[in-house]
Amino acid sequence: MLKSSKRLIGKSILAGLVASALGVSPVLAQNYPNKTITLIAPYGVGGDSDFSGRNLAAVANKLIGQPVIVQNVAGASGTIGSQKVRTSPPDGYTLLISRGGSQAITPALDSNTPYKWNDFTMISLLDFNPVVCVVKPDSPYKTIKELIDGIKANPGKLNYATAGPGTTQHLAVEVMLRDVGLPSSAAMMIPYKGGGQASAALLGGEVNFLCNNLTTMVGQIKGGAMRALVTSTSNRLKEFPDVPTAKESGIPSLEQVMGWSGLYGPPGLPAEVVNKWQAVLKEVAKDPAWLRGNDTVGAIPAIRSPQETEKFAREQFELYSKLGAELNLKK
């Protein structure tokens, strides 16, 4: 009996040492969560990651049994916040609101990105965000064709806002310019810290146009503060039936550019944590408040399994790697 007890104690100590070496508490599975969970939004307040994080947190708070808060850690095209999560302990208390820009585009285009597209534990997708190109209502450009003609007539003079190089806002314009036979230098990119600041720059008259995710701008478009010229969806938007699609506008490649948010964790996140969030997200997907939040900003619900999320993330990375090579955008 004594020898058996010693063996059991030895196994427990060994398990604890292994768990400690991995940075995971040996009682994590039974107790998770037992304190506040922080969702890192890697772009500024008012942007798409901020919206997705807060829309999720508002519902998850009720379902997971602990407070869920959003912390904005903006900068460097979303890589600062993303890296903060990647290097956090894999205990489930620091998670990432992943974005197509920070998790697919930047790793695909910039070899200096401090992480790879798959250097995270992928929990789920959250939502898709169509891209819409807009101008101010007093802009002389009433259609996307008129804007493109203006760029052609004034090479290098018209400017546009982005959340930084290699983001959705940047790549959307690059794709549009390529489709009409113009170089990157035809329009000047002005980088900001997030999609919200990029939208504010347009409203403030700092830039001539903006191609941004609809979630960030739906209120301004509905309110008449912005004029939408084109959408990246294959069909016209239900909320904006007068806005032509990319294909209708002669820039079909713009359909390839679509914003998205997901929920990622640090590498090595225990399966118990992933499973807990998957169970919560199944309830989130049916929650009227979460669905209503997406409807309000034109986001498309997209909760998926970890396997489906990884497959989608891989396809996105490969897509932007190919586009980056074609557009000569790789660093």
- Alpha carbon distance 191, 167 (integer Å): 10
Question: Residue 254: what residue type?
Answer: L
For the ranges 1-5, 85-89, 255-259, the maximum mean pLDDT occurs at 85-89
By the 8 A CB rule, do 219 and 293 touch?
Answer: no
- Name the architecture of domain 35-129+259-326: 3-Layer(aba) Sandwich (3.40)
pLDDT of the residue at 19? 43
Global pTM reads: 0.77
- Domain segments of the chain as ranges: 35-129+259-326, 130-256
In degrees, rounded to 5, the angle at the alpha carbon of residue 147 between the alpha carbons of residues 143 and 148 is: 115
Query: For position 121, what pLDDT does the model report?
Result: 98
Provide the pLDDT confidence category of residue 237 given band limits of 50, 70 and 90.
confident
Q: What is the per-residue DSSP string for 247-314?
A: TTTT-GGGGG-EEEEEEEE-TT--HHHHHHHHHHHHHHTT-HHHHHHHHHHT-EE----HHHHHHHHH
Of 179, 210, 183, 205, whose CA–CA distance to 194 is shortest? 210
For 92-126, the pLDDT digits (tens) are: 999 999 999 899 999 999 999 999 999 999 999 99
pLDDT at 30: 63
What is the 3 state secondary structure string of 15-60?
A: HHHHHHHCCCCCCHHHHCCCCCEEEEECCCCCCHHHHHHHHHHHHH
pLDDT tens per residue, range 118-152: 999 999 999 998 899 999 999 999 999 999 999 99
- Note whether 260 and 99 are within 8 A (CB): yes
What pLDDT is attached to residue 300? 86
Cis peptide before 33 (omega within 30 of 0): yes
Q: Which long-range contacts (CB under 8 A, 24 or more apart) does 153-157 make?
A: 155/182, 155/185, 155/186, 156/185, 156/186, 156/187, 156/188, 157/188
DSSP state of 330: -
Closest by Cα among 230, 200, 191 to 214: 230
Examine the pLDDT at 274 and tell me if it is beyond 80. Answer: yes
Which residue, among 132, 136, 130, has the nearest Cα to 227 in the 3D structure? 136
Domain at 130-256, CATH homologous superfamily: Periplasmic binding protein-like II (3.40.190.10)
Amino acid (1-letter code) at residue 21: A
